Amino acid sequence: MNEEQIKTQEYIFRNRETAALPKKEKKTGIKAIIAAAGSVLVIAALVVILAVVINNDKVDAEAKQVADTQIVEENRNGDILPGETVKEEIKEELAKAEDIATPTPVPATPTPVPTEEPEAAEQVQLAEEFFGEEGEIATGLVSVVADPLDFYRVDDPELPSYLTRRTNEGFKMKLEQTEIDLLVRLVEAEAPAEDIFGKILVANVVLNRVLNEGWANTVTGVIYERYGRAVQFQSTANSYYWNSIKPTDSSKEAVMRAIAGEDYSDGAEFFYAWARHPELSPTTGWISIYTHLFRHGGHEFYK
C-alpha cells in the first residue's frame, strides 16, 4: 500500500461517521417526496371520481326532468305512458287539467212514467183480450178518467132514464178464460138482438147470482144450475143450439164491461122474455113473488 492509499484510508476512517449522514438524509427526503406525490395523486383521483359522480347525478336529474315534462305533455293530450311514475306536483297538475277538461256530469232527471188507475188498467187488459191491441179498441172504446169504469163505446145509445149506471166492486172477480168465454156465449144466446145495455144486464144477472149465497158461487155453476130438472137459462137446454153459438163483438164487449164493474141491474137476479111468456107479470105466475125492477128491450128484470 503506497502513501496515497494510506491517506485515503485514514480520511475515510476519520470521516466515516460524518460521511454517512448526508446519504441517510438524502434517502429520507426522497421518501418524503414520494409520499407527498402519492397523496397528491390519491386526492386528485378522488376529486376526479367526485366530479364524475356529480356530473352523472346532474345528467340523471336533467334526464328525469325531461322525462317528467314529456309525461305531463303526453298526459295533457290524453296519452298516459304505462309504467311511468309521476311526481306529486305533476299529479296535481294533471288533476287540475282533467278537472278543467272534463265537465262535471249532471245527473239525468228520470222521466216520470204515467200510471193508470188499477180499474182502468184492468179494463184495458180485458179490452185487449177481446178486441186485440189495435182495431176496435183504438177507435171504438173510450175510457173516462173521472170514472174509470164508465167504459163505453162511442156509438152507445142514450142511457134510458130507468137505468142507473154504477160501479159494482164485487163484479171484479178473477175469472178463468173458460168462464169468460162461457159468459160471452150465454149473453149472445139470451140477448142476441139486445143493445149493449141489454147484453150487459144479462151478464149482470149472472154475476149477481155468483155473489148471492143462494146460488152457485162460480160463473159456470150459475149458468148450468138447475132447479130440479129445469134449467135456469133456456138456451142451455138445447145442446145443439148452445154449441153452435158464435159470439159477436158486442157480446164480448158487454161481458168485458160487466166484469170490469159496470152494473145497471139494481141487483136483479131474474129476467125473462116477456113476448114469449105473456102469462107472466108482476102480479101473475111464479115471477110475481119477486120484486119487479124494470123492462129493457125484450126482457123483464126482477130481484
Residue-level pLDDT, tens digit, the chain, 303 residues: 666 666 666 666 666 555 444 445 445 566 666 766 667 777 777 777 777 667 666 656 666 665 555 554 555 554 444 444 445 665 666 666 555 555 555 555 655 555 444 444 554 455 455 444 433 333 333 333 334 444 555 567 889 999 999 999 999 998 999 999 999 999 999 999 999 999 999 999 999 999 999 999 999 999 999 888 889 999 999 888 899 999 999 999 999 999 999 999 999 999 999 999 999 998 999 999 999 999 999 999 999
Average pLDDT of the chain to the nearest whole number: 74
In a domain? residue 233: yes
Angle, helices 88-101 vs 3-76, to 10°: value is 20
- Decide: 163 and 296 in contact? Cβ < 8 Å: yes
Rounded CA-CA distance 65/109 in Å is: 47
Domain containing residue 286: 159-302
Specify if 148 maps to a domain.
no
Distance CA 267, CA 253 (A): 21
Do residues 195 and 294 both lie within one domain? Answer: yes
Residue 260 lies in a domain: yes
Q: Is the pTM of the predicted complex or chain greater than 0.85?
A: no
- 3-state SS of the chain is CCHHHHHHHHHHHHHHHHHHHHHHHHHHHHHHHHHHHHHHHHHHHHHHHHHHHHHHHHHHHHHHHHHHHHHHHHHHCCCCCCCCCCCHHHHHHHHHHHHHHCCCCCCCCCCCCCCCCHHHHHHHHHHHHHHCCCCHHHHCEEECCCCCCCEEECCCCCCCCCCCCEECHHHCCCCCHHHHHHHHHHHHHHCCCCCHHHHHHHHHHHHHHHHCCCCCCCHHHHHCCEECCEECCHHHCCHHHHHHCCCCHHHHHHHHHHHCCEECCCCCCEEEECCCCCCCECCECHHHHCCEEEEECCEEEEC
**pLDDT tens digits, 252-289:** 999 999 999 999 999 999 999 999 999 999 899 999 99
Boundary of a domain, candidates 60, 85, 101: 101
Domain assignment of residue 199, yes or no: yes
Say if residue 214 is in the same domain as residue 280.
Answer: yes
Instruction: List pLDDT tens digits, range 155-172.
Output: 678 899 999 999 999 999
Q: Is residue 293 one of the residues assigned to a domain?
A: yes
| Domain match, 69 and 195 both | no
